[in-house]
Structure 1
Amino acid sequence: MCVEPALLDEVEHALEPNESLASFVETAVRHEIQQRQAQAGWLQRGSAATRHNSAAAGIPAEVVIARLEAKLDAARQRK
């Protein structure tokens, strides 16, 4: 794979003093791997939570709304 000259120029200008292109690329790759691992973990936890919640007997939305409306009515009466 060839790197576009403009990108290579940008990278070379972004290098810190005494930083090599190889160390810059290694740091970038490690960071990307960490980001992808974190994202994969987040997606796994979200999928597990979705499966758990769909399998569990939850409270119907109508019941939750009715309870919230009752609390709101009680708060209005206290004022």
Structure 2
Amino acid sequence: MKSATIPPLRVTQELRQAVEGVLKVDESLSSFVESALVKQIEFRKMQKEFIARGLAAREASKQSGKYIGKEKSLAALDVILDKYHSSQ
């Protein structure tokens, strides 16, 4: 597969210095930017899927007429958080 390029990115000197200040040993600016792009793409895909699941759940609730109140939802999340914190 042929490689492609990303258009040049113009940034402030301060931003460039900040990036260069956090590069790992043997990490190039190009590899840092590529990694950031990959992570942002993955994040946006997960975000899109999350929203789609939420909208589907909303539609399913409308169809069935069954809803879970916020108190019950928050209590369930608290249980998950408690389990997480106790395992740390």
**From 39, 42, 45, the counterpart of 1:34:** 42
- Taking only aligned residues, the RMSD between alpha carbons, in angstroms, comes to 1.7
Matched, 1:56 2:36: no
Residue in 1 that maps onto 2:6: none
Find the partner of 2:54 among 43, 46, 70: 46
Aligned to 2:23: 15
Deviation at 1:56, TM superposition (A): 1.4
Structure 2: runs of 5 or more not aligned: 1-8, 70-88
Deviations 1:23-51 (A, max 9, x none): 00000111111111111110000000001
How far, CA to CA, are the matches of 2:38 and 2:25 in structure 1? 20
Higher share in helix: 1
Q: Structure 1 stretches (4+) deviating beyond 3 angstroms? A: none
Following superposition, the deviation at residue 54 of structure 1 comes to 0.3
- Aligned pairs, number: 60
> Aligned partners of 2:18 and 2:65: how far apart in 1?
55
Rounded to whole Å, the distance in 2 between the matches of 1:18 and 1:57 is: 57
Match 1:5 to one of 3, 10, 13: 13
Q: Percent identity?
A: 33
Stretches of structure 1 lacking an aligned partner (at least 5 in a row): 62-79
- Aligned-pair CA distance for 1:55: 1.2
| The structure with more radius of gyration | 1
